[in-house]
């Protein structure tokens, strides 16, 4: 077995693969969105730079045959210079039902975060919510348990590095994979947020939902009838300028109302967008 600069590993060129998973990035760094860059920054902080460079080359060459992500575990096969592909696994802690109940309650209690997640976006502040619950979103320096069946004693080897970079690109395409790796699938999370409705703990005994307003007779509300039923504290910080104008419509469950056989939301969205254009003018 040839010995390379990194130790005991196969120095020969890898067997060419047809139909492997190729990284979209052709040069430079991998990862475009903030969540995938956050993951790549962690890798480049704790992993050997030389192996990461060779891992990027493997990822761009399509040496990774498959990639499967589930709660707490990513599995892959990587073709090296041997006939049989190497088996790769990357593990992190997947949070349980009680931990996710706390997280969804905390996310649901923040109106803007909840609305963005329901709209398919990943707000940068979500990482702070996880930290406040004592449950990190991204693994720390010792939060990754990685294995490869190759003979390279270096850590991580280029096969692991290739899988990690392709994982970052998968996060680019679907940010909810970050949460699925921690144990909460996209559909389950969004369903939990819809039912949380802004409660602090995700349960019926929590504080009132964001849009819950007491039903008070009009005669008792003459003086403040047109004021908001929700306090500024419950509303949380204002949406950032980059938020879509119809963010609220995306967050709320669509009403079963139609006008001329057209769903009400389909009629309201153009109006919301028109108002935003007028505000910018």
Alpha helices in 78-141 (DSSP H): 97-108, 111-118, 126-132
pLDDT of 3 higher than 80: no
* Mean pLDDT over the full length of the chain: 79
CA–CA gap between residue 182 and residue 185 (Å, rounded): 9
pLDDT of 129 higher than 50: yes
Confidence grade of residue 84 (pLDDT, cut at 50, 70, 90): very high
pLDDT of 61 higher than 90: yes
Confidence grade of residue 2 (pLDDT, cut at 50, 70, 90): very low
Give the mean model confidence (pLDDT) for residues 180-206: 74
Is the Cβ–Cβ distance between 17 and 62 less than 8 Å? yes
Confidence grade of residue 197 (pLDDT, cut at 50, 70, 90): low
Q: Is 164 exposed, middle or buried (0-12, 13-18, 19+ CB in 10 A)?
A: buried
Q: What is the pLDDT of residues 222-255, one digit of tens each?
A: 666 566 555 555 445 555 555 666 666 666 666 6
Is the Cβ–Cβ distance between 68 and 74 less than 8 Å? yes
Q: Tell me the helix, strand and coil percentages in the chain, rounded to 5.
A: 40, 10, 50
pLDDT of residue 242: 57
In terms of Cα–Cα distance, which of 152, 139, 207, 142 is closest to 178?
Answer: 139
Residue 260, Ramachandran bin (φ over 0: left; ψ between -120 and 50: alpha; else beta): left
Q: What is the pLDDT of residues 145-161, one digit of tens each?
A: 999 999 887 778 899 99
Is the Cβ–Cβ distance between 167 and 69 less than 8 Å? yes
pLDDT of residue 198: 47
CA–CA gap between residue 114 and residue 105 (Å, rounded): 10
Contacts (Cβ under 8 Å, ≥6 apart) of 189: 104, 117, 176, 179
């Amino acid at each position: 077995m040839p010995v390379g600069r990194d130790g005991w590993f196969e120095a020969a060129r890898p067997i060419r693969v047809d139909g492997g998973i190729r990284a979209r990035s052709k040069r430079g760094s991998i990862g475009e969105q903030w969540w995938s860059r956050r993951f790549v920054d962690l890798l480049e902080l704790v992993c050997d730079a030389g192996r990461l460079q060779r891992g990027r080359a493997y990822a761009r060459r399509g040496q990774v045959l498959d990639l499967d992500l589930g709660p707490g575990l990513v599995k892959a096969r990587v073709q090296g210079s041997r006939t049989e592909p190497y088996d790769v696994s990357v593990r992190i802690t997947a949070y349980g039902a009680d931990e996710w109940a706390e997280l969804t309650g905390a996310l649901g209690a923040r109106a803007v975060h909840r609305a963005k997640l329901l709209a398919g976006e990943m707000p940068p502040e979500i990482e702070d919510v996880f930290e406040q619950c004592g449950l990190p979103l991204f693994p720390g320096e010792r939060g990754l348990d990685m294995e490869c069946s190759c003979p390279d004693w270096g850590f991580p080897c280029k096969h692991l590095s290739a899988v990690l970079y392709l994982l970052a690109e998968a996060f680019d395409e679907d940010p909810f994979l970050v949460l699925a790796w921690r144990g909460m699938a996209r559909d389950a999370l969004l369903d939990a947020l819809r039912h949380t409705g802004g409660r602090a703990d995700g349960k019926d005994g929590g504080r009132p939902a964001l849009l819950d307003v007491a039903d008070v007779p009009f005669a008792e509300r003459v003086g403040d009838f047109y004021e908001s039923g929700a306090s500024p504290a419950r509303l949380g910080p204002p949406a950032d300028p980059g938020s879509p104008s119809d963010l609220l419509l995306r967050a709320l469950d669509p009403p079963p109302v139609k006008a001329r056989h057209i769903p009400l939301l389909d009629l309201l969205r153009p109006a919301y967008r028109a108002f935003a254009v007028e505000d910018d003018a």
